[in-house]
Amino acid sequence: MSAVLEARGVTRSFGPIRVLHGIDFALLPGEVHALIGENGAGKSTMMKILGGYLSPTEGELLLDGQPVRFADQRDAESAGILMIHQEFNLALQLTVEENLFLGREKRRGIFLDKAAMRDEARDLLARLDCHVNPRARIRDLSVPDRQMVEIARAIGRNARVLIMDEPTAVLTGRETDVLLGQIERLRAQGTAILYTSHKLDEIARIADRVTVLRDGSHITTRPAKGFTEHGMAEAMVGRELSDLFPPKPVAGDDIVLEVESLTVPGKVRDASFSLRRGEVLGFAGLVGSGRTELMEAIVGLRPATGAVRVNGKPLAAGSVLAARKAGLVYLTEDRKEKGLLLGKSLTENLTLLALDRFGTLTIDKRAEDKALTRAISDFDIRVKDRGMTAGSLSGGNQQKLLLAKTMLAEPQIVIIDEPTRGIDIGTKQQIYDFIAALAAQGKSVIVVSSELAEVIGLADRVIVMGRGHIAGELTGDAITEDAILRRAMGVGELTGASA
Amino acid sequence: MTDTTGETTAGPRRPRLNLHVLGPVLALIALIILGASLNSNFLSYGNVTNVLARSAFIGIIAVGMTFVITAGGIDLSVGSMAAFVAGVMILAMNAMIPTLGIGVPLIVAGMTVALLAGLGAGLINGFLISKVGIEAFIVTLGSMGIYRSLTTWLADGGTLSLDFDARSFYRPVYYDGILGIAWPIIVFALVAILGELAMRKTPFGRHCAALGANEQVARYSAVKVDRVRMATYVLLGMLVGVATIMYVPRLGSASGSTGVLWELEAIAAVIIGGTVLKGGFGRVWGTVVGVLILSLIDNILNLASIVSPYLNGAIQGVIVILAVVLQREGKSAD
């Protein structure tokens, strides 16, 4: 079968820096082709070139065997190549159907044919098994729903080639199933799908062929069959991988954090738990179960009732600064919108949380500079230039910068929400090691994660949340995927939750 | 995931950024050369003092405006506020003459009233914006109308004049100075230097920029967002008070048409200086350059008879738009 879209010897440089080295790559109709690699391996650049967002510095693209140059992304779109981004391309103030037909509105005479558009929108969403109201505004939708709308938009444009940049990073397990089902349908219809994800199990499940990039070079392209997850990880990292999770630390006896009957109106009901010194406590649950809201309420980011005590002392409500001063910090799951100032320098980001440590009247810039040097080496942040903005770091390095920023406040208790979202396996391992090291130093860590493997691998005690309340607690060998899921879905109470 | 936009900034960004920074300065130098070549009086002591002293009012206000805009806000009320503060100051001073007599205490009392009035007005704006949560544009559009109308009402449709003897005593605050430098220029310079230091070197300046860049991130980073935002409006209000203190001795009066369009001139100066209108990045020295550019254009048109001075507003308008276009060029390099 001949390729629908092909890259030959594609090289791309940004200024003096070359990020892709002569990549050859072919996408066949009716295949799911996974593109994997660590952060910074060149996946995004490759996808942007294929999607018409960037042009290759050298080499050429072939569409149906004919050389082609896309002037821009719209040019690629009219050739049937659509890219779905991690950061969505949706107009927040418009409705679902308005977004689906944005730029290709149906008309009757000079007026919009709203009825026809609504019918087609409904049809598109139904094909995706997505139950959002076509008239809802995007800003009122949850992130997974927005993802579905984005996919519906691409399908509505009759994509021949669909480029999906980590489509499942924000989806729950069930939503992922729906999406993968849809991808299979598209494949059966002959659509070529380029797919990236850091979730290797997903790739093993859905992909026909796998291409691995490392440091901007093409490493291998192989059929997915017989390519194990471990094999993929090693091809990405370029070395042998030892055990992903470090040994679990042993928690002390004294209690450093007590949360009592915390209630966040509409989100969390009556949550109570405690945390010991040197403990890694896992928080599991489905998206929307109130985990993030509970954590935000604990550090004073959300209005709540109930009590929070740090080392036995009550914490003033509603003040992030008071929490920080008591040694309690929260690392957000949303590093792009809530964690980092993407347009600002690394230094300004690094010291923002603990700025008062750098002088009260004026900021000691030399000390800031030293702190950056230390953070770069302690957290292994790969920077090309110390003056670069936080937004131009890769996702994994942004996460490390966020960790460095948080640790600069010298906390005793660290709450980390989704510590490895959208991060490659090598960086993941570094972050896991770091969490274990924190606990070994006698600090206490709460890990909130949607990745069950992560919670199970890191924590020696796991609290499961479901629909806004604490649905169960598991310790030691009782922490299994099955046990967590049953509690999270509310079917596990009968079989004896210990909380 | 890989974010390759980073590589673009590493290489070609620097030189363009420099041009972006230097733009306003080059424009200022060009204007000075143009002015000097058109009229030999342009660089005379008298003219320079005149231009700088008259820039001082807008300049002092624009320094405060830089903080408000950097933190993601806007204040449309400063022109009306200046008129109102001037009116209140004049009324208070006239009322205090019988008790305090004409002398330094009267002037100090008047200045105190002006500062307090500015502070109060800034507090009201700041409270409505940061605590009640109404958009800055709406709040200050409202207070702009309120202060303007209150001033006209206080003056009963006419002019509020400072007592003649008090005015004679107060005049030197505008017209005199030390070492040949007029007071308004000295005060403007002080405000600008302190403002620049505050923006670049203090946690307050850093917090303003963080708040303007992304309020959520600031909140999650333990920045007291409400307090910082409030502080920018209070600071601006106080600087309006300071500007009024320098303004009243010049004419000794205030009316409903005092300070008309000052808000727009101040905002224009801030933008010309390279501060981002959407917030997140501010440059006080740039604002000073912006103020000077605006007043030099006015001055050159008045001195040289090539272009009608009536076109002043049009030329200033072109400059503002041009400045924003240049800003965007700088951005696209990011």
pLDDT (tens digit per residue) in B138-160: 999 999 999 999 999 999 888 99
- Name the amino acid, one letter, at A335: R
Q: What is the ipTM of this complex?
A: 0.80
Are residues A366 and A222 part of one domain? no
The Cα B164–Cα B169 span in angstroms is: 9
The Cα B117–Cα A190 span in angstroms is: 72
Are residues A282 and A215 part of one domain? no
Containing domain of residue A24, as a range? 5-237
- Predicted confidence at residue B137, as pLDDT, reads 94
* Helix H or strand E segment including B65: helix B45-70
Name the DSSP letter for residue B130. I
Are residues A349 and A223 part of one domain? no
Q: Mean pLDDT in chain B?
A: 87
The answer to whether residue A48 neighbours chain B at the CB level (below 8 Å) is yes
Q: What is the pLDDT of residues A144-160, one digit of tens each?
A: 788 788 888 887 877 88
- Predicted confidence at residue A323, as pLDDT, reads 92
Residue A246 counted as domain residue: no
Residue B208's Cα: distance from chain center in Å?
Answer: 17
* Minimal C-alpha gap between A131 and chain B (Å): 29
**Closest residue on chain B to A386 (Cα):** B10
The Cα B217–Cα A436 span in angstroms is: 27
Look at residue A80 and give its three-state secondary structure. coil
Cβ contact B334:B27 at 8 Å: no
The answer to whether residue B201 neighbours chain A at the CB level (below 8 Å) is yes
* Minimal C-alpha gap between A331 and chain B (Å): 8
Of A152, A140, A51, the C-alpha closest to A100 is A152
Residue A465 counted as domain residue: yes
Please, which residues have CB within 8 angstroms of residue B176's CB and are 6 or more apart in sequence? B182, B183
- Name the amino acid, one letter, at A32: V
3-state percent breakdown (helix, strand, coil) of chain B, nearest 5:
75, 5, 20
The Cα A296–Cα A303 span in angstroms is: 9
Please name every residue paired with A11 in a beta bridge, in sequence order, or none if there are none: A58
H helices of A157-188, in order, are 173-188
The answer to whether residue A352 neighbours chain B at the CB level (below 8 Å) is yes
Cβ contact B282:B290 at 8 Å: no
Which among A174, A204, A237 is the end of a domain?
A237
Cβ contact B293:B28 at 8 Å: yes
In which order are the strands placed within the sheet that holds A66-68?
A17-27, A5-14, A58-63, A66-68
Place of tokens 């806007």: B74
The Cα B212–Cα B73 span in angstroms is: 8
Q: How many domains does chain A have?
A: 2
When scoring A332, A385, A386, A407 by the number of chain B Cβ atoms within 10 A, the one with the most, hence best to mutate, is: A385
Pick B210's closest partner by Cβ from A323, A341, A360: A341
Of B204, B191, B239, the C-alpha closest to B65 is B239
* Residue A324 with chain B: CB contacts under 8 Å: 222
Are residues A115 and A176 part of one domain? yes
Are residues A212 and A275 part of one domain? no
Q: What is the CATH number of domain B44-332?
A: 1.10.3470
The answer to whether residue A316 neighbours chain B at the CB level (below 8 Å) is no
Check B3 against A320: CB less than 8 A apart: no
Place of tokens 């009536």: B310
Q: How many CB atoms lie within 10 A of CB B169?
A: 17
Q: What is the pLDDT of residues A248-299, one digit of tens each?
A: 878 888 999 999 999 999 889 999 999 999 999 999 987 778 899 999 999 9
Domain ranges of chain B: 44-332
| Separation in Å, CA B212 to CA B16, B132, B224, B232, B277 | 23, 18, 13, 11, 10
pLDDT, average across residues A101-129: 82
* Residue A320 with chain B: CB contacts under 8 Å: 219-222
The Cα B101–Cα B298 span in angstroms is: 40
What six digits make up the tokens of B332? 């696209």
**Closest residue on chain A to B220 (Cα):** A338
Residue A248 counted as domain residue: no
Domain CATH number, residue A225: 3.40.50.300
Residue A119 counted as domain residue: yes
* Residue B334 with chain A: CB contacts under 8 Å: 343, 389
- Predicted confidence at residue A371, as pLDDT, reads 92
Pick B10's closest partner by Cβ from A17, A356, A395: A17
Check B206 against A363: CB less than 8 A apart: yes
Residue A242 counted as domain residue: no
Please, which residues have CB within 8 angstroms of residue A310's CB and are 6 or more apart in sequence? A256, A257, A323, A326, A327, A328, A412, A413
Are residues A487 and A439 part of one domain? yes
Are residues A264 and A295 part of one domain? yes
Residue A243 counted as domain residue: no
Q: What is the pLDDT confidence band of residue A91, given thresholds at 50, 70 and 90?
A: confident
Mean pLDDT is highest, among A280-294, A468-482, B76-90, for: B76-90
Are residues A306 and A232 part of one domain? no
Q: What is the pLDDT confidence band of residue A242, given thresholds at 50, 70 and 90?
A: low
The Cα A264–Cα A293 span in angstroms is: 7
- Predicted confidence at residue B2, as pLDDT, reads 40
Cβ contact B48:B41 at 8 Å: no
Q: How many CB atoms lie within 10 A of CB A123?
A: 12
Check B213 against A353: CB less than 8 A apart: no
Residue A247 counted as domain residue: no
- Whether A63 shows a pLDDT value over 80: the answer reads yes
Are residues A385 and A477 part of one domain? yes
Are residues A336 and A260 part of one domain? yes
Which among A237, A265, A289 is the end of a domain?
A237
- Whether A62 shows a pLDDT value over 60: the answer reads yes
